[in-house]
Amino acid sequence: MIEIKHLSKTFQMKDGAVNALKDIDLTIPDGSIYGIIGMSGAGKSTLVRCINLLERPTEGSVVIDGTAMETLSPAALRERRRDITMIFQQFNLLMQRSCLKNICFPMELAGVKKADAEKRARELLEMVGLPDKANAYPAQLSGGQKQRIAIARALATNPKVLLCDEATSALDPNTTHAILTLIKDINKKLGITVVVITHQMSVVEEICDSVAILDGGVVVEQGEVREIFANPKTAAARRLVAPNGGSAARDLSSFAPDDHVVRVTFNGSSAAKPLVASLAAEKGILVSVLSADTRDLSGQCYGSMLLKLPRDTEQAKQAAAYMRSQNGVTVEEVTGE
Ligand SMILES: Nc1ncnc2c1ncn2[C@@H]1O[C@H](COP(=O)(O)OP(=O)(O)OP(=O)(O)O)[C@@H](O)[C@H]1O
């Protein structure tokens, strides 16, 4: 278990102090996939670097399996870091070494015999789906393949924790999906705790069990992904869950005063029953979708839509009543009435 206790990090700069992290309290359970999400500058990288003490906290403590990391001697810390490995957005592979030798590198540092290291490296190449790339060099690989090699290297020392710092941010959506699937498989198969640092809600959505939202160096919300999606309490969470939410509302002045425009919020309604289509099929009422920012999370729908209802008041009322009667749906009139 990783316990981050009252952790603060201040960088002293010539022109003043930067408070990158302020009084962070987080508990990351063993075997979980835990997301830490925030906008650029929120403090994500600083936090992840504090977890493995690449950065020393100014205050507070990082306790991993009962050991306060900041109390370890440099030698003990080096030893401990083999349990907490990391992958990065830019892969950080050694370009002059083959893939096999890249994966062997941390084992060399740990004093593992060459033959044993190579055997393990080949097993890891198999695990990440690149058994034929042992002798290839990083420059000969695609981004997704480079990240697979980086994952194999990170697993070489049998870590307990894998820290992923924007590990898929340089990859296209399909490759991102493939890498996230691999990380999820590794988490399941090996029971490794995974900490995912990202600015993309879609990444959290796809693999994380729990998430902490970081904003301005402070954890503003934390909990199960599903709960945060269902009920984002802070502006920072709402920005991440529905980045376009409300943007269409700013254009409302362009509608006629008798237009009926409603904001429909989905709070865990069934994604299997598309609302606009079922309104048309069951009631014969057609509405226009002005904007939509919804997500399907394990078959449940979250987010909001801006809908223009028919001009006919009776039909508009019927449409609103129909939508209100659905589970997990709230309807709010934004013009008309
Ligand atoms: N070594 C450093 N020296 C001074 N200030 C720093 C240092 N590292 C980070 N900061 C500052 O701390 C704050 C948080 O930065 P950090 O890189 O952790 O954010 P982030 O959420 O990872 O952002 P991004 O997604 O853009 O990488 C920023 O204001 C940044 O300028």
**Which residue among 235, 263, 292 closes a domain?**
235
Task: Please indicate, yes or no, whether residues 125 and 176 belong to a single structural domain of this protein.
Answer: yes
Contact 229, 297 (CB under 8 A): yes
> What is the ipTM, given to two decimal places?
0.94
Supply the residue whose CA is at minimum distance from atom 25 of ligand 1: 40
CATH number at residue 75: 3.40.50.300
Residue whose entry in the numeric block shows the structure tokens 């069990």:
209
Give the three-class secondary structure for 332: strand
**Which residue among 210, 235, 260 closes a domain?**
235
CB of 138 shorter than 6 A to ligand 1? no
> Is 241 part of a structural domain of the chain?
no
CATH number at residue 327: 3.30.70.260
**What residues form DSSP beta bridges with 219?**
214
> Is 17 part of a structural domain of the chain?
yes
**Which residue among 209, 235, 261 closes a domain?**
235
Task: Please indicate, yes or no, whether residues 264 and 226 belong to a single structural domain of this protein.
Answer: no
CB of 11 shorter than 6 A to ligand 1? yes
> Is 243 part of a structural domain of the chain?
no
> Is 154 part of a structural domain of the chain?
yes
Q: Could you tell me how many residues make up the chain?
A: 337
Contact 175, 143 (CB under 8 A): yes
If one residue of 44, 88, 169, 195 were mutated to test the ligand 1 pocket, choosing by the most ligand atoms within 8 A of its CB, it would be 44
What are the CA-CA distances from residue 45 to residues 17, 154, 270 (Å)?
A: 18, 18, 36
Supply the residue whose CA is at minimum distance from atom 17 of ligand 1: 45
Task: Please indicate, yes or no, whether residues 218 and 315 belong to a single structural domain of this protein.
Answer: no
DSSP for residue 47 = H
Supply the residue whose CA is at minimum distance from atom 10 of ligand 1: 20
In 10 A of CB 132, how many CB atoms? 9
pLDDT tens for each residue of the chain, 337 residues long: 999 999 999 999 999 999 999 999 999 999 999 999 998 899 999 999 999 899 999 999 999 999 999 999 999 998 888 899 999 999 999 999 999 999 999 999 999 999 999 999 999 999 999 999 999 999 999 999 999 999 999 999 999 999 999 999 999 999 999 999 999 999 999 999 999 999 988 899 899 999 999 999 999 999 998 888 777 788 888 777 766 554 444 455 556 667 788 888 887 777 777 889 999 999 999 998 888 877 777 777 887 888 889 988 899 999 999 999 998 888 888 754 3
Atom of ligand 1 nearest to the CA of 165: 22
Range of the domain at 255: 248-333
Supply the residue whose CA is at minimum distance from atom 11 of ligand 1: 20
| CA 38 to ligand 1 center in whole angstroms | 12
Task: Please indicate, yes or no, whether residues 24 and 172 belong to a single structural domain of this protein.
Answer: yes
If one residue of 45, 51, 199, 220 were mutated to test the ligand 1 pocket, choosing by the most ligand atoms within 8 A of its CB, it would be 45
CB of 57 shorter than 6 A to ligand 1? no
> Is 242 part of a structural domain of the chain?
no
| CA 170 to ligand 1 center in whole angstroms | 19
Q: What are phi and psi of 247, to 5 degrees?
A: -65, -35
Report the alpha-carbon distance of residue 271 to residue 73 in Å, rounded: 53
Report the alpha-carbon distance of residue 57 to residue 37 in Å, rounded: 19
CB of 50 shorter than 6 A to ligand 1? no
> Is 161 part of a structural domain of the chain?
yes
CB of 242 shorter than 6 A to ligand 1? no
Q: Which residues of 199-209 are buried (b: 16+ CB within 10 A; e: fewer)?
A: bbbebbbbbbb
CB of 39 shorter than 6 A to ligand 1? no
Supply the residue whose CA is at minimum distance from atom 18 of ligand 1: 43
Task: Please indicate, yes or no, whether residues 187 and 322 belong to a single structural domain of this protein.
Answer: no
Q: How far out from the chain centre does Cα 80 lie?
A: 26
Task: Please indicate, yes or no, whether residues 43 and 185 belong to a single structural domain of this protein.
Answer: yes
Count how many domains the chain has.
2
Task: Please indicate, yes or no, whether residues 177 and 280 belong to a single structural domain of this protein.
Answer: no
